Amino acid sequence: MFALVADVEKYPLFVPLCAALRVRSRQPQADGRLIMIADMTVAYKLIRETFGSRVTMNRDRLEILVEYLDGPFSHLENRWSFKDDGAGGCIVEFFIDYSFRSRMLGMLMGTMFDAAFRRFADAFEKRADVIYGRKALGTA
C-alpha cells in the first residue's frame, strides 16, 4: 500500500477530483527518505485549482507526509502511515487538515472537498484491489 500511495503520478487515474499531477523534483535524502515537490490540479465542474506540496516519503518507517507549499489553501497537511495487520493485509491511517485561503472558495469547494476526502480512502482501496487483487477471506 505504501508503494501505491507513493506512486503519485497515477493519482489522476483514480483519485476523486484529481485532474492532473506533475512532479517538479525528486530529492533522495542520505537517511533514505525521498522528498518530492509536486503540483496537483483538482477540478470540479467549472472550478479548477492547482496547488503545490512537499511530499516526504519514508519507506523505512512506512510514512508519507504531505505539506502545502502554494495555491488556494491557507494550509494543507496530510499524513499516511501503514502497518501490517498480521493477517496479510495492511492498516492504513490517513489524516488531513486544510483550510482555503479565500472564504468564497472555501464556501464553494469546502463541502465538495469534504465529500471527496471521504471517498478518497475508498478510491485507494479500490486501486489496491485492481493492482494487487483481493484475497478472499478465509483462503490461503
CATH number of the domain residue 28 falls in = 3.30.530.20
If you average pLDDT over every residue of the chain, what do you get? 86
Domain membership flag for residue 122: yes
More confident: 112 or 2? 2
In a domain, 9, yes or no: yes
* 137 part of a folded domain: no
In a domain? residue 88: yes
In the chain, DSSP assigns E strands to 18-28, 34-44, 47-58, 63-70, 73-84, 90-100
Q: What is the pLDDT of residues 68-111, one digit of tens each?
A: 999 888 898 999 999 998 888 888 898 888 888 877 767 666 66
113 band by pLDDT with thresholds 50, 70 and 90? low
Whether residue 140 lies inside any domain: the answer is no
Domain range for 21 is: 2-130
pLDDT tens digits along 13-30: 999 889 999 999 999 999
Is 135 contained in some domain?
A: no
Residue 136 lies in a domain: no
Domain count, the chain: 1
As a whole number of Å, the end-to-end CA separation of the chain is: 20
